Amino acid sequence: MGFVLKAQKYINFTGSIRPKPTTLIPWYLILPALAVLLSFLLLVLRGSEAPRGRDLLLSFSGAFLLALTLLELLPEAYTAGDPRLIGAFIGLGILLQIILEYFSRGAEHGHVHGVVPQGKFPWLLLLGLCIHALLEGVPLRGHDGFLLAIVIHKIPVALILGGFLLRSGLSPSRCWFFMVLFALMTPLGALAAGIPLLEDLAPYLLGLVIGVLLHVATVILFESSEGHTFNLRKLAVIVLGMVLAFLL
């Protein structure tokens, strides 16, 4: 009798089977935020000292992100929308990222340029990074490879940004507020991308995001060869990132 009652919970009045409700949160909403918060927690425990290999991980993430943008996102955008308009939105995305970096000081590609007065909360830095992180979340749904690229990219960025905040004289509570808000932006971007009103604009919004990502990823790769000196280890991780993206 108990079995029958349980079964009836999933049968509606027409006799069709109701899908079993799920309370699981999708990975694309969890992993990007976890990557930021766990990286910052590691910094706090180490006293703001970043782990070794951060620059190599940044170079790998830039190559991986660039390759997946070219292999997955770019073909999808051009297939779904007007190619000429897609190209225009990619250009707008590049310009938007250039503007955002005046606020974020380049933290998206692993270097926080300039200084913030000791103890003063960097609102403009937060604004620039949050807009960038929000856009990063737009393509996450249905792109497992891109999700992995964003998660890997978040780790060195969070380490660099977190170290900057901890050395800036801000209180620990303000540092955590900054990092938690930054961590939530990419999941929020993924949720916003599912709004029905944006469905018709999806290919062009994706083009905008592609422009942002192309700018960030290429700057990471250019800065990985700082001083135009040959670095075999960085070249190796860049090649590795591109090859793995192709194999996914």
Each residue's pLDDT tens digit, 29-60: 999 999 999 999 998 888 766 667 778 888 89
pLDDT at residue 12, rounded to an integer = 41
pLDDT at residue 4, rounded to an integer = 40
What's the CA gap between 102 and 108, in Å, rounded?
A: 12
The stretch 7-36 carries a mean pLDDT of 62
Each residue's pLDDT tens digit, 110-163: 666 555 566 678 888 889 999 999 999 999 988 888 999 999 999 988 988 888
- Mean pLDDT (the chain) is 83
Does pLDDT of 181 surpass 60? Answer: yes
